[in-house]
Amino acid sequence: MNSTLPALLFLVPFLSALLCGALGGYLRGAARWIALGALAATAALSFAGAALAAAGERLVTHMGGWAPPLGIEWRLDALSAFVAAFVAATALIVHGALGDVRRRELGEREPGFNTCALLLVSGLMGMIASADLFNLFVHLEVASLSAYALVASGGRGAPRAAVRYLVIGSLGASLYLLGVGHVYAATGTLNMDDAAARIAAGADPRLTILALAFMISGLAIKMGLFPLHGWMPGAYARAPLSAAALMAPLVTKVSAYALIRILFWVYGPAGLGRAPIVADLLCVTGAVALIAGALLAAREADLRRLLAYSSVSQMGLVVLGIGLANAAALTGAILHLANDALMKATLFVGAAELAHRFGVREVGDLARVRARAPWTAAAMAVAAFSLVGLPPLCGFFGKWYVLMGALESGRPGMAFAIVAGSLASAFYAFRIVERLYFARSGEACPEREGPAGLVAACALLGGGVAALGLGSDRVVALLVRAAIPGGV
């Protein structure tokens, strides 16, 4: 049905970012509340959209009243509503929780940070709601430019990390745009539904497959998929604490969503069936990333770099599920987008709190806060165990569905990769837990965890990891299964 809700998901944070930018230099406190209010409104809109999508509604906005394929269409269906809900909720919790950290870390630069954070969220929401391939690129660039600015606002080493991120990210965006150009050359349209119909009707297969290769390559860079992940560890380690905690749970997940949207809604299962090498390459690349990311994390000393490599591993699992392209594996891939967003939010918020309160930067430093931060340590331990895939935490269920999909497809090698990746994840996850609970340090911290709001948010996120696991069957039944495209 026609609705302004999809457009509002982008417009509310975008217009609020402009207001923050205008007022930030004069009313820093007002800009702070504008940012928080805009994120709360975006979350409320996304939950309303998810409720309507769960009831079977499909919300559509035609920009300027122009119907597609001539006009630009934004829409919320079961998939986009699910992704929008967890992105908006995560952004609200993380940004709201880290207010004290942000004020201490950024000082007078906080209003500019709030502006960029809102632009990041608006760009991500635009990517989620867009039903137009070029419009998706526009929103991808809004989110990317905001992310580069957020990274650059950090301290020593941040500008270099931001430039590296910008160069690699620009390559990814260019490859995606090149793919969009080939789709237009083959089909004469940019609307996703219209392009899907023309590809199914026999549009030039050489151009459409080449277009798909370019778009997958570009989005793989944005996702930080191994071996195209070079921007991620430096960006997350050098960015301000509050920037890394906002970016890490969201940016790569929305790029993965865009890949799912293009593969299964534009090309469709039949289109992938005509190019099985694409699915095979996704499976192999995902399996390698799953294991390699975990091994790289296991040898990393810096806590935030470790978590970045963990994201490389978890995105490998998502891509493996996408490549398997059956209902069970795709269910696991979509579910794991929300799982990993919640797990990474917990771990990065916890890392921000420990760095802010205790000066913890490396894994070895975690021993200094032993028994001094019980709630934060418990939340981080729950998220770490979930990354390994221990039941009944949410990380287990994403892996379980992808594992079942691999076995259903008759690919025991992919199933073995999932198990091997989980075992490799245990090395770095148990390092975190061991340092938090069992290691002793001669340099004890006199401080205790705080401030209270930050600790409560970290505990809430950690509880959410357990709750999402316990309620996983309900989430799958209400939201995820409805998001699986027909024919899978």
On the CB side of 475, CA atoms within 13 Å amount to 24
Residue 351 CA, distance from chain mean position? 18
Lowest-confidence region among 354-358, 440-444, 449-453: 440-444
Percent of the chain clearing pLDDT 70 (strictly above): 95
Question: pLDDT category, 142, cuts 50, 70, 90?
Answer: very high
Mean local confidence (pLDDT), 72-78: 89
Mean local confidence (pLDDT), 394-411: 92
Question: pLDDT category, 120, cuts 50, 70, 90?
Answer: very high
Residue 284 CA, distance from chain mean position? 21
Q: Please, which residues bridge with residue 76 across strands?
A: 59
On the CB side of 155, CA atoms within 13 Å amount to 10
Question: pLDDT category, 25, cuts 50, 70, 90?
Answer: low
Question: What mean pLDDT, rounded, does the chain reach?
Answer: 89
Position 442 pLDDT exceeds 60: no
Lowest-confidence region among 97-106, 122-131, 265-274, 400-409: 265-274
Lowest-confidence region among 384-393, 415-424, 446-455: 446-455
In three-state secondary structure terms, 326 is: coil
Spell out the alpha helix ranges (H) of 67-191: 78-97, 99-106, 110-129, 133-152, 158-187
CA distance 10 to 17: 11
Q: Which residue has the tokens 């420990």?
A: 354
Residue 362: φ, ψ to 5°: -115, 160
Which amino acid makes up residue 30?
A
CA distance 430 to 71: 52
CA distance 425 to 340: 13
Per-residue b or e along 265-274, where b marks 16 or more CB atoms closer than 10 Å to that residue's CB: bbbbbebbee
Residues 6+ apart with CB under 8 A from 51: none
Among residues 187, 179, 189, 184, the alpha carbon closest in space to that of 209 is found at 179
The whole-number pLDDT of residue 426 equals 93
Position 282 pLDDT exceeds 80: yes
- In Å, what is the CA distance from 419 to each residue of 291, 294, 403, 412? 9, 12, 8, 11
Q: Evaluate the omega torsion of the peptide bond into residue 451 and state whether it is cis, within 30 degrees of 0.
A: yes
The whole-number pLDDT of residue 12 equals 94
DSSP 66: P
Position 310 pLDDT exceeds 90: yes
Mean local confidence (pLDDT), 303-329: 93
Residue ranges covered by each domain of the chain: 275-488
Q: How many CB atoms lie within 10 A of CB 338?
A: 26
CB 32 within 8 A of CB 58: no
Position 64 pLDDT exceeds 90: no
Provide the total of helices (H) and of strands (E) in the chain, helices listed first.
Answer: 22, 2
- In Å, what is the CA distance from 33 to each residue of 47, 59, 377? 21, 29, 29
Is residue 465 exposed (0-12), middle (13-18) or buried (19+ Cβ within 10 Å)? buried
Residues 6+ apart with CB under 8 A from 385: 393, 395, 429, 433
CA distance 15 to 28: 17
**pLDDT tens-digit series, residues 322-356:** 999 899 999 999 999 999 999 999 999 999 888 88
Position 7 pLDDT exceeds 60: yes
The whole-number pLDDT of residue 99 equals 82
The whole-number pLDDT of residue 368 equals 82
Q: Please, which residues bridge with residue 132 across strands?
A: 191
Among residues 348, 352, 304, 342, the alpha carbon closest in space to that of 451 is found at 352
